A and B are shown apart, each in its own frame.
Chain A
Amino acid sequence: MKLVAVTSCPTGIAHTYMAAESIEQAAAAAGHSITVETQGAAGAEPVPAGVIAAADAVIFAADVEVRNRERFAGKPLVVAPVKRAINDGPALIAEAVQAAQAGRAETSPAAATAAGPASQGSPGLTTKVDQDAGFGTRLRQWLMTGVSYMIPFVAAGGILIAISFIWGGPEVASKVFGGTFHGHTYPAAVTGIEGFTVAPVLHAAGVAGLLFLIGKVAFFMLVPVLAGFIAFAMADRMGLVPGFVAGLVATATGAGFLGGLIGGLLAGAIVMALKRPKLPRAFAGIMPVVVIPLISAAVVGVIMAVAIGRPVAAATTGMTHWLHGLSGTNAALLGLLLGAMMAFDMGGPVNKVAYTFGLASLASGDTKIMAAVMAAGMTPPIACALATVVRKNLFTPAERTAGEAAWLLGLSFITEGAIPFAAGDPLRVIPSLMAGSAATGALSMTFGATSLAPHGGIWVIGLIGKPALYALALVAGIAVSAACLLVLKSLRRAARAGSRAGVTGSTRVPVGA
């Protein structure tokens, strides 16, 4: 196998060369050829373009920015700190070989011919997919690829919304979208995020309102990005169009991230099937650009709209009726139920039914239900964040990053902060989060805590009745969810140990990003 590498370090006199030597030795020992470009103080001799073109994979062992990294765009890439190259060259070489094999498998012969020789390999975006793994592992890698591209949207959008709450007061949300907040009813300044004008937003809620709206726009992309990149992980670039379409339909029909997750998998599967038949060369040229996106987007769009959108709408109506029928029953039981619903799909249809029920109760003067609903929506991100801190090694680096933002998102009642965790491992994460939120909801109702605000989390603490008990309900739910998460994830890890090599410290990232 042919490899190329770039090494660099802050001073450029020691580690750069030690890393080069170490990976050269490791490559030779493993029977691969490697060309190393040392970007150090002795001056870098650039790897010839022909060598890069012929390389199967690229290694960046660098603690400072690699110069002219665009030369390596499109190659399977392994990135590691320079010290890792020195301390464990063989592992880095092994990872590069693995990356090369994964990259090669992604580019099926049909796709390569169709896309032309200029764009062979992945288009600068990478996945975490190991094609040789079993179905369960690959499914998780598909989901994790979608999640890793979604996390920046969650963090950016969520933090923008939290900043707007802190800056303009949590009522900015009501000022922008209209609604009742602390007894005051605001008219809507915008009809939605798809087509708004700036002047009314600034007039009603100022710059904080605009930031809130922009945060919401970023959130609008959560599900499409998740679905798009799940499909991308499965079917390479051709998966992007149907994946994004599926995610957008999921959002438009209110199917939430679970709808998007299903849509992304569906889109990927459809493209994988469409890529299979070998076609005449003349016809193959238009397959990736026109035919496959067209057919797959149409098929997945119709399936999503009909098979998922309609049942979701029906279920929403049904659950709403059912909840209203429960009014007046045991308060703790209602809180338990609403709490579990809030954590089920975090912004999806079930969550929306529970939240809307809270809003309706608030409008009719019942502030306890609103309080329980809000508390149950705060625990999931905080519990995830806590779990990543308590047992780091149960989470991927991407999840740990998401965990850092999740504290603020949870405290601000932005339940979406938990979606990266739920989307990557739904069967373990969702039940854990539901258990904690159910406990929080039940306790909040039992304590009789109240909220005069429909959103805002910690930032509306002044509008909460019985704040100390409210906080206790929150802490209890967070503890329950975090404990469930750690136990379920430990069990999985224990089951997998031995069957699979340990996860290494380096990651594969988009080239030239």
Chain B
Amino acid sequence: MTTPIITPDLVDLRLEAASRQDATRRLAQLLAGQGRVTDLDGFLADVAAREQQMPTGIEGGIGIPHARSAHVTEPTLAFARSAAGVDYGAADGPAHLIFLIAAPAGGGAQHMAILAALARRLVRVSFREALAAAPDAQSVVDIVTKEVLGS
């Protein structure tokens, strides 16, 4: 792959956010900082539209804000850990692991297949536990890259 889906610059292991909107914005800012999102507010609007259809929180303390958006240049994952937790609307409580998935609107099947592989890992307990325990940003990147591209 030319562009990795995640880099250490796209990881925040000590996220502090007042709300899910705030948390999503902070992660989206990481994307914008890397030039992967061209219009921050436009992208956030697309994510909010998806979130509005149904909250993206799932049980086990996971939040997965995501969107296919014209403002996204590369399929990308931004990852954050929040000790306090951020409410993403899951029935069993706030999310401690937050995955912002950004897909280009016209993304080809190959791009989408990578994101699909990533999404499948999210429901694996071992993957979650590894990310929860990762000591630094680089190890998060290594875990994701190995799991999603190495298999």
A contacts, CB < 8 Å to B: 10-18, 20-22, 25, 38, 40-43, 63, 83, 86-88
Is there contact, CB below 8 Å, between A13 and B101?
A: yes
In Å, the complex CA distance between A21 and B64 comes to 16
Contacts of B117 in A (CB 8 A): 17
Docked-complex contact A21 and B124, CB < 8 angstroms: yes
Chain B: minimal CB distance from A43 (Å): 5
Q: In the bound complex, do residue A41 and residue B58 qualify as a contact, i.e. CB atoms below 8 Å apart?
A: no
- Interchain CB contact under 8 A, B58 and A18: yes
* B69 nearest CB neighbor, chain A only: A11
Cβ-defined contact, B123 with A14, below 8 A? no
Q: A18-B122, A21-B123, A41-B107 are in contact. Are A87 and B58 (CB under 8 A)?
A: yes
Interface residue B133 (Cβ < 8 Å from any Cβ of A): no
Identify the 10 closest CB pairs spanning chains A and B, nearest first.
A42-B112, A17-B119, A21-B120, A87-B59, A17-B116, A41-B112, A42-B116, A14-B119, A22-B123, A21-B123
Binds A, one of B2-10, B15-23, B25-33, B49-57: B49-57
B44 at interface by CB-CB < 8 Å: no
Q: How many B residues touch the partner, as a band?
A: 20 to 34
Contact with A along B98-116 (1 / 0, CB 8 A): 0001010001010011011
A15 — which chain B residues lie within 8 A by C-beta?
56, 64, 119
Residues of B within 8 A of A87 (CB): 58-59, 91
Is B67 close to A, CB under 8 A? yes
26 of the cross-chain contacts (CB-CB < 8 Å) are: A10-B54, A11-B66, A13-B66, A13-B68, A13-B101, A14-B56, A14-B115, A15-B64, A15-B119, A16-B116, A17-B120, A18-B122, A20-B120, A21-B120, A21-B121, A21-B123, A25-B124, A38-B116, A40-B116, A41-B103, A42-B112, A42-B113, A42-B116, A63-B53, A87-B58, A88-B59
- What B residues does A88 contact at CB under 8 A? 59
Residue pair B91, A13 in contact (C-beta under 8 Å):
no
B residues touching A (Cβ–Cβ < 8 Å)? 50, 53-54, 56, 58-59, 64, 66-68, 91, 101, 103, 107, 109, 112-113, 115-117, 119-124
User: Which one of A13, A25, A63, A83 lies within 8 Å of B112 (CB-CB)?
Assistant: A13
B91 touches A14 (CB 8 A): no
Are the C-beta atoms of B123 and A25 separated by less than 8 Å?
A: yes
Q: Which residue of A lies closest to B55 (CB)?
A: A83
Q: Are B54 and A18 in contact (CB under 8 A)?
A: no
A40 touches B124 (CB 8 A): no
Chain B residues within an 8 Å CB radius of A42: 109, 112-113, 115-116
State the Cβ distance, B63 to closest chain A Cβ, in Å. Answer: 11
Could you say which residues of chain B place their CB within 8 Å of the CB of A14? Answer: 56, 64, 66, 101, 115, 119, 122
Most chain A C-beta atoms within 10 Å of own C-beta, residue among B54, B68, B120: B120
- Chain A residues with CB under 8 Å of B56's CB are 14-15
Residues of B within 8 A of A10 (CB): 50, 53-54
Interchain CA distance A182-B117 in the complex, whole Å: 71
A113 to B115, CA, bound (A): 47
Using Cβ atoms and an 8 Å threshold, which residues of chain B touch A43?
Answer: 109, 112
Q: How far is the CA of A87 from the CA of B56 in the complex (A)?
A: 12
Q: B68, B107, B119 — which one has the most chain A CB atoms within 10 A of its CB? A: B119
Query: Which residues of chain B are near A40, meaning CB under 8 Å?
Result: 112, 116
Please tell me if the beta carbons of B123 and A18 are within 8 angstroms of each other in the complex. yes
Tell me the complex Cα distance, A173–B106, Å.
58
By a CB distance below 8 angstroms, the chain B residues around A38 are: 116
Complex Cα distance A76/B107, Å? 36
Inside 8 A of B115's CB, which chain A residues have their CB?
Answer: 13-14, 17, 41-42
A22 contacts across to B, CB distance below 8 A: 123
State in angstroms the CA–CA spacing of A11 and B49 once bound together. Answer: 10
Task: A20 to B116: give the CA distance in the assembly, Å.
Answer: 10
Give the chain A neighbours of B101 by CB distance below 8 A: 13-14
